[in-house]
């Protein structure tokens, strides 16, 4: 019997349907010569310090650094995890072959390998490697199963990452908590978390220290066009007035006039980070929320694998594009608007050298149903339009530059005019283009002749220097991607991804962790450090802990391990040496106590008394344990592995606990009013809970 192990029950069901394993059992499905089972994400984790010795449960600094000679793994302490692991152990012992059907990425490989290792799997292991969950993709994947050994380097990179995070997180957190928190305040330090916090604190300090100054610019109006003097900004109003008076006495002469046609190509296809950036820019979605939405679309078979860091497609996929585009029937008018003849095969879209395990995020040929949530529809729409747009011709516009002189002072004016929308038509509604930021600022210059002269109207513009902008999640994600460097060019960003902070799949979690720790906070769309976050960064003098560049260098080495070009033992040795040096350095410093505020979650719960109710909490439909009430949702205590939760607020209406309990127990609420109309325009209806854990309004 061949045993297939997926990462989630929902994925296991999709695979089972394709394989004909239609008989449900306790913890697995069977049929067609296959058994299909699942994990709940991570079933195993690295052992904790006290697992290597009871004395290591103590946080005494004399025990640091803690560097196990050999790292071990253990089951996560959860009844549902233990129960499913026992099922898997029995199935593995009776299997003739195991197919690893985990998510096709580094984390997915690590999750499955640890389970197979813990279960002492002795039978041959194959690997299913697919980029979408459509029936066709699963079927083709099983026809091309790979030997597990092909992905050994991927597993080694995942394990090296986990061990590196353990070494730094365990030792640095205990060290700083005992030294600077005096054991009363938990000071969390992380390999990626801390340099991310340091970037936010540094930006905040730059803004606070910024000394805004008043400046004056000389400008003049000629034929309705505003010209700017090409001199340094003036700091004296008196000098500006003298300059203005000088200009009044002289005519303006055009010394050069040029209209230059320019092409603007469509933005590249989405990787996870660029999708999160766009969703934050458009709708203010957090990185975590966008990841959740695109992951849901992937599991519903509407888009390809989302946790990717490439914006390219393999060249072989070019032949599939006409059929895929034709399947996107709701977008027919834009597909039919493509230039006649073969699709353009741009190297900015198709490049085998830029694709590793996965390609850019694109839609599949499986269209979503009307039950798709409003926010999912928005993200899906982004992905589809981006794919269609890359096959359109460039947008054409002209940039006009007029150079003038008044006496001895040079002036300049620029204008921009769109000539052909090109790919921008895909982002229009009813053929009415939605203007970009550049287009909304468009100003056309009238034709001018060299050497023409005329009267003009000089004036003084008074301005004020502006500080840097606070980070938003969009700009923070970009900075993490480029190790803190400000990079606008897409090609340069692509080249720097190997040395970014964290991975696309982990950055959202890192940002959320900083919020949960109380180190950063949101003010509208801006991200600011809290007093605690600032104090923590100020206390950390070791640049290795908070340098984005050095953390990016570690990320590069992890990617080299993944490629088989760097030994994981060397990476571990380097981090162990760094941790040992850090302990010696910090213990020699004089301590300045950092006092954390009360737990922000606890404060929030005190401010708003919990709703009184008599009914017992319902059981999680996946884990069969009692659900718990959180700050914003009713969720499973094993959420990290199970993933089940229901937000209190559904389409603008906050549901009571009684209504949420009813939703879980019966699968639907009674008829409710007060929704905001974002779900298919409905302001009333019955909230229905699907088997996958999604809610709809009927």
Strand residue runs (E) in 644-683: 645-647, 649-650, 653-654, 668-673
**Where on the phi/psi map is residue 458: left (φ > 0), alpha (ψ -120 to 50), or beta?**
beta
Residue 417: φ, ψ to 5°: -140, 125
Judge contact between 276 and 473, C-beta under 8 A. yes
Other Cβ atoms less than 10 A from the Cβ of 186: the count is 13
- In angstroms, the CA 276 to CA 517 distance is 22
Strands 2-6, 34-38: pairing is parallel
Residue 305 appears among annotated catalytic residues: yes
- In angstroms, the CA 90 to CA 1 distance is 13
Helix (H, G, I), strand (E, B) or coil at 112: helix
For helices 193-209 and 504-516, give the axis angle rounded to 10 degrees.
60
Q: Give, as one character, the DSSP assignment of residue 651.
A: T
Judge contact between 265 and 394, C-beta under 8 A. yes
Residue 636: φ, ψ to 5°: -80, 140
Nearest C-alpha neighbor of 417 from the set 448, 395, 443, 447: 443
Beta-bridge partners for 227 = 220
Question: Peptide bond before 369: cis, by omega within 30 degrees of 0?
Answer: no
Residue-by-residue DSSP string for 188-202: ---TTHHHHHHHHHH
Helix (H, G, I), strand (E, B) or coil at 335: helix
Beta-bridge partners for 363 = 303
Catalytic position from the list 305, 331, 380, 392: 305
Nearest C-alpha neighbor of 298 from the set 469, 533, 134, 110: 134
Nearest C-alpha neighbor of 170 from the set 78, 50, 70: 50
Residue 464: φ, ψ to 5°: -140, 130
Which residues are known catalytic residues? 305
């Amino acid at each position: 019997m061949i045993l297939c192990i997926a990462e989630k029950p929902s994925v296991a069901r999709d695979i089972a349907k394709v394989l004909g394993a239609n008989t449900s059992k306790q913890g697995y499905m069977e049929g067609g010569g296959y058994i299909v089972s699942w994990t709940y994400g991570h079933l195993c984790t690295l052992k904790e310090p006290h697992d290597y010795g009871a004395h290591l449960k103590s946080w005494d600094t004399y025990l640091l650094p803690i560097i196990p000679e050999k790292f071990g793994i253990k089951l996560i302490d959860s009844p549902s995890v233990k129960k499913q692991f026992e099922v898997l152990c029995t199935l593995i012992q009776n299997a003739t072959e195991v197919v690893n059907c985990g998510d096709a990425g580094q984390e997915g490989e690590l999750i499955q390998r640890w389970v197979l290792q813990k279960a002492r799997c002795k039978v041959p292991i194959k690997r299913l490697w697919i980029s979408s969950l459509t029936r066709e993709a699963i079927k083709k994947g099983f026809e091309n199963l790979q030997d597990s050994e092909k992905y050994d380097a991927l597993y080694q990179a995942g394990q090296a990452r986990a061990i590196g995070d353990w070494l730094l997180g365990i030792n640095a957190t205990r060290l700083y908590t005992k030294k600077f928190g005096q054991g009363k305040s938990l000071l969390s330090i992380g390999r990626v978390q801390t340099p991310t916090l340091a970037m936010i604190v540094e930006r905040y300090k730059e803004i606070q220290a910024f000394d805004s100054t008043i400046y004056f610019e000389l400008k003049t109006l000629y034929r309705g066009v505003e010209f700017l003097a090409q001199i340094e900004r003036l700091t004296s109003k008196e000098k500006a007035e003298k300059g203005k008076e000088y200009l009044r006495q002289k005519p303006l002469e055009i010394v050069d006039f040029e209209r230059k046609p320019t092409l603007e190509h469509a933005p590249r296809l989405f990787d996870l980070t660029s999708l999160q950036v766009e969703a934050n820019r458009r709708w203010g979605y957090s990185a975590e929320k966008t990841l959740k939405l695109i992951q849901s679309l992937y599991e519903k078979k509407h888009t390809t694998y989302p946790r990717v860091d490439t914006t390219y497609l393999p060249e072989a996929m070019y032949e599939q594009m006409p059929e895929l585009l034709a399947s996107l029937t709701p977008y027919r008018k834009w597909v039919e608007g493509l230039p006649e003849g073969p699709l353009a095969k741009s190297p900015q879209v198709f490049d085998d050298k830029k694709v590793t395990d996965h390609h850019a995020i694109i839609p599949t040929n499986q269209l979503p149903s009307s039950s798709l949530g409003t926010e999912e529809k928005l993200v899906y729409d982004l992905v589809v339009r981006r794919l269609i747009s890359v096959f359109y011709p460039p947008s054409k516009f002209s940039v006009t530059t007029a150079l003038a002189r008044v006496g001895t002072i040079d002036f300049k004016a620029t204008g921009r005019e769109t000539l052909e929308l090109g790919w921008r038509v895909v982002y229009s509604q009813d053929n009415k283009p939605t203007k970009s930021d550049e287009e909304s600022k468009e100003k056309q210059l009238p034709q001018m002749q060299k050497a023409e002269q005329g009267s003009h109207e000089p004036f003084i513009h008074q301005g004020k220097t502006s500080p840097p902008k606070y980070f938003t999640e969009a700009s923070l994600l970009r900075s993490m991607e480029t190790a803190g460097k400000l990079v606008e060019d897409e090609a340069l960003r692509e080249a720097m991804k190997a040395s970014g902070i964290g991975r696309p799949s982990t950055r959202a979690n890192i940002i959320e962790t900083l919020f949960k720790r109380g180190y950063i906070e949101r003010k509208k769309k801006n991200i600011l450090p809290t007093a605690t976050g600032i104090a923590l960064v100020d206390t950390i003098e070791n640049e290795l802990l908070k340098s984005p560049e050095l953390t990016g260098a570690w990320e590069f080495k992890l990617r080299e391990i993944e490629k088989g070009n760097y030994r994981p033992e060397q990476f571990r040795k380097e981090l162990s040496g760094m941790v040992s040096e850090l302990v010696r350095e910090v213990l020699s410093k004089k301590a300045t106590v950092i006092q954390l505020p009360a737990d922000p979650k606890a404060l929030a719960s005190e401010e708003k008394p919990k709703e009184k109710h008599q009914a017992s909490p319902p059981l999680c439909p996946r884990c069969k344990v009692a659900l718990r009430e959180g700050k914003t949702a009713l969720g499973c205590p094993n959420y990290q592995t199970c993933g089940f939760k229901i937000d209190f607020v559904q389409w603008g209406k906050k549901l009571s606990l009684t209504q949420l309990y009813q939703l879980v127990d019966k699968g639907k609420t009674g008829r409710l009013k007060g929704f905001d109309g974002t779900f298919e325009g409905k302001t009333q209806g019955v909230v229905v809970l699907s088997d996958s854990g999604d809610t709809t309004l009927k």
